[in-house]
Structure 1
């Protein structure tokens, strides 16, 4: 695999030089974890029972984590590791590694191609660096705050669409039914069916968010997201020129209870449609 340039280091970049160097190393670490997962991946995989699926997925995750955690910890010893208690709440100050060791694990164990290793670094409430390594297809997405988002070194750019009735919109399934989340998901899909060109529901969140960053999808929203599922995608989208807020249009921060990511001209129309959901 040829490691792509992580970010544009031109004079217009406002990303610190140390973060650009850091991103290059994170790309290499994520690629190593991706290779370990690829060795365990089979397009013929068809788990017959829920127990089999979770047993295999847990083992896959541990293989990846055994590479990621020591390498990232050595890279930034002062950075804390995100735990379950902080996945849906505001992060304390400082640096945090936000990692999904097998994003799309359910796809990995079913022989589907949409799985990846995702790594984001959150610093004082802002995501500053993100890497998504998708071994199937040899795809490496990178983003650095102030230096853009890239796919295999090529800049990403969000859609130029201006009308919601021409938009491909996507939502993600929440982790659990919290305060009527499932009901809101269903109602939001119904509302969007009346307004958008095409409505999809997808799991995991990272992949439709990457497609928003690349201009293939136009809108993504989710209720009760977990931070490892959206941190990397949110930075990819904003660095590709998109807009990321909470569903009500207020600012999004890591740990927020909703997320809305859109092409710029579609943000207000999407907020208007989703505001009908109580």
Structure 2
């Protein structure tokens, strides 16, 4: 049966109903990006690459922005997916129209479409859709995290030396201090963890932590769209969220750590060295 978007007054719709409607919108945008996926998109200059990235973003945004605005007319819209820091008061849509966009252009499968509704700087619902597999991860504050309707739970791992851990490059052209910090953290985890994975995008690593497939994810720097949907998924699946040193995380933090509770303190200790 095909999915249809049904509008309801923003004053009366519940967050659970809003989540269900957001899923339809995000899946529709994902289908449009899937149609563009296949051959490697060749580029010879950074300008060519930026243009190709923008084409993908525009394809998804042409669906996401009007339909999500229709669902929540009074919510603000974050214009730049690479923005970080606190948002002004009220509700905001934080969307990544092609999370892992560079992978899409290189015919790699690790990419997604995400949408998160943030209310008073707290994520209240999130949708992460993987168009190539058809999987949809959802989270609703206080109501758990799910994969295609099945509840998600983080791993019960209690030892970092038995853990699969992961990190991601927040963006190209990071400053030297961040790059060196990333390198040092990977080295430290290579000594303390079982296996270290490094790839983009962040959201897919966080979905794996929420699903109990991996145990730890950390990142230095990063944007709201990188971290908010996965942070809600992990938290609602029973995981712990902090900065890399174990302090409370906010979008203003300069680092991020998500982990199964049994290894969170060990991961923070490793990353703090």
**Which TM-score applies when normalising by structure 2?**
0.91
Instruction: Confirm or deny that 1:246 pairs with 2:243.
Output: yes
Structure 2 gap segments, 5+ residues each:
4-11
How many residue pairs are counted as aligned between the two chains? 263
Q: Is the 8 A contact 1:91 1:255 kept in 2?
A: no
Match of 1:31 among 27, 31, 48: 27
Check 1:101–1:79 CA distance in 2 against 1; reply closer, same or farther (3 A cut): same
Q: Over aligned residue pairs, what C-alpha RMSD do you find?
A: 1.8
Residue aligning to 2:143:
147
CA distance in 2, matches of 1:29, 1:272: 40
Match of 2:233 among 236, 239, 246: 236
Residue aligning to 2:9:
none
SS at match of 2:258: strand
- Range with greater deviation from structure 2 (115-124 or 47-56): 47-56
Residue aligning to 1:79:
75
Instruction: Confirm or deny that 1:204 pairs with 2:201.
Output: yes
Instruction: Confirm or deny that 1:271 pairs with 2:271.
Output: no
Instruction: Confirm or deny that 1:106 pairs with 2:95.
Output: no
Residue aligning to 2:190:
193
Instruction: Confirm or deny that 1:62 pairs with 2:58.
Output: yes
Instruction: Confirm or deny that 1:222 pairs with 2:215.
Output: no
Check 1:215–1:17 CA distance in 2 against 1; reply closer, same or farther (3 A cut): farther
Q: Is the 8 A contact 1:88 1:256 kept in 2?
A: no
- Cα deviations by residue, 1:1-43 (Å, 9 ceiling, x for unpaired): 877xxxxxxxxxxxx970000000000000110111111111x
CA distance in 2, matches of 1:160, 1:22: 31
- Cα deviations by residue, 1:85-133 (Å, 9 ceiling, x for unpaired): 9822122221110000011111111111111110001111211100011
Instruction: Confirm or deny that 1:49 pairs with 2:53.
Output: no
SS at match of 1:93: coil
Q: Is the 8 A contact 2:81 2:95 kept in 1?
A: no
The structural deviation recorded for 1:177 is 2.2
Check 1:85–1:21 CA distance in 2 against 1; reply closer, same or farther (3 A cut): closer
Check 1:270–1:33 CA distance in 2 against 1; reply closer, same or farther (3 A cut): same
The structural deviation recorded for 1:223 is 0.5
Deviating above 3 A after TM superposition, structure 1's stretches of 4 or more consecutive aligned residues are: 50-53, 83-86
- Cα deviations by residue, 1:124-166 (Å, 9 ceiling, x for unpaired): 1211100011110110110000111111111111111000000
Q: Is the 8 A contact 1:192 1:199 kept in 2?
A: yes
- Cα deviations by residue, 1:57-100 (Å, 9 ceiling, x for unpaired): 21111011011111111111111111349822122221110000
The structural deviation recorded for 1:178 is 3.6
CA distance in 2, matches of 1:82, 1:70: 13
- Cα deviations by residue, 1:178-211 (Å, 9 ceiling, x for unpaired): 4600000000001111100011111111111110
Residue aligning to 1:171:
167
Q: Is the 8 A contact 1:227 1:254 kept in 2?
A: yes
The structural deviation recorded for 1:174 is 2.5
Q: Is the 8 A contact 2:81 2:223 kept in 1?
A: no
CA distance in 1, matches of 2:189, 2:109: 28
Match of 2:117 among 114, 121, 126: 121
The structural deviation recorded for 1:244 is 0.6
The structural deviation recorded for 1:47 is 1.9
CA distance in 1, matches of 2:124, 2:259: 19
Q: Is the 8 A contact 2:103 2:109 kept in 1?
A: yes
